[in-house]
Amino acid sequence: MTTPQFKAGYYNIHPDIGLNYQMNRFSDGSDEMLSEMRAVVPRIHTYPDYIREFLALSEKAFAHGRLLPAAGYLRSAEFFMFPDDSRKDASRLRYVQWMKEYYKVQESQHFSIPYENITMNAYRFTPESPIGTIVFFGGYDSYIEELFSSQIYFFQHGFDVITFDGPGQGTTLEEQHMPMTHEWHKPCKAVLDYFYLKDVTLIGYSLGGCLAIRAAAFEPRVNRVVCDDIVTDFQEFPYRTLAPVVRSVVSTLVKLDASFILNPIISGKMKQDLMIEWGVKQGMHTLGASSPSDFFKKTGAFETCSVSHLIIQDVLLFAAGEDHYVPRHQFYDQIQMLKNVRSLTSRLFTEKEQAQNHVQVGNTELSLHTIVSWIKGLQERDKQVKG
């Protein structure tokens, strides 16, 4: 496998905070990639502009044999394509193939795990003498192939690492057409059963932080839980895109289940704001919602308040000081909810560390190092207790 190269740095490339984040998220941090992105920024004012320019950057990079930048540009462009965009599926398949080629992932490391009436996409990297087992998954709009670098990092530090796309994620959504479920212990159980696992560390990335809590609450084979980052209330996210007055009206209508009023309101906002249009359409696709109002309603199931008291494991919580997706209060809320854990460790990453953004984009290696150190510390503690 190809050893990942991590570079620290979060860059101001585009004035729009959302576009700027995605540019950093899929960048390899090289001067060449940063220069190429800055060159096209003056031509990017809308999502269609972004898609056009990044598809062109991808083709150019691929033509010059730069496979990882080509994959990053392609995924960045595909990220903003609507679910019904005819280019989306081909772009996704090409991205997945390029990532597998770049990191030299073998077909023997790729698995299809039976779940209900479908199969879930998974990868397993196992060293000769593993020091522990990690089960790792993404969040709301990630593909597990994006996390190859993290998976290899854990593998090279001695861990047996399994990653998977659950319902509503990556290949499981796009090819198996299974929307996301808040009952995350069910796909986790399928993975643990398939590989005959016990005593695992469960790591959830982005919205996966919420899913990890929800799975660990009902899965005794999970002994350690990492939320990278925390998400205690996913329903708060789509509300934040709305003006305060509209937010209040939408919230009330969702509680009243007044879809006949709510759908025209949201549809109107979608016509006025491309970000809202993309967010709602992507949300309906991911959650299997039948309408905009149904999407807002379904987000309410993705919360940790109702299950946090069931968590008795060791828990590590991450949050980012300037996360533009997750409100910081959710970090402190999650800490307060975990009353019965074996141990609780929390860390708020900062700008000084170049890790102040969602899931520490800008200094991923720091978060990975923190996780490895935490797991090894718990293993040493447990040896002394048994000792």
Tokens of 255: 């509680």
CATH domain 110-234+302-386 topology:
Rossmann fold (3.40.50)
- Please tell me the predicted confidence (pLDDT) of residue 243: 76
- Please tell me the predicted confidence (pLDDT) of residue 34: 96
pTM above 0.85, yes or no: yes
Give the mean pLDDT per block of 10 residues along the chain (387 residues).
Answer: 92 94 94 97 95 98 98 97 94 98 97 97 97 96 94 98 98 96 98 97 97 98 97 89 79 86 88 88 95 93 98 98 94 98 98 96 97 97 87
- Please tell me the predicted confidence (pLDDT) of residue 273: 85
- Please tell me the predicted confidence (pLDDT) of residue 249: 83
C-alpha 330/C-alpha 308 separation (Å) is 13
User: Is-contact 223 244, C-beta < 8 A?
Assistant: no
Of 180, 222, 199, 212, give the one whose Cα is nearest residue 308: 212
User: How many CB atoms within 10 Å of residue 74?
Assistant: 24
C-alpha 51/C-alpha 141 separation (Å) is 17
User: Is-contact 182 209, C-beta < 8 A?
Assistant: no
Amino acid at 143: Y
- Please tell me the predicted confidence (pLDDT) of residue 244: 81
DSSP 301: T
Tokens of 300: 């309410």
C-alpha angle 38/359/248, rounded to 5°?
A: 95
- Please tell me the predicted confidence (pLDDT) of residue 257: 85
H or E element at residue 229? none
C-alpha 6/C-alpha 271 separation (Å) is 40
- Angstrom CA distances, 142 to 90, 145, 290, 363, stand at 16, 8, 22, 18
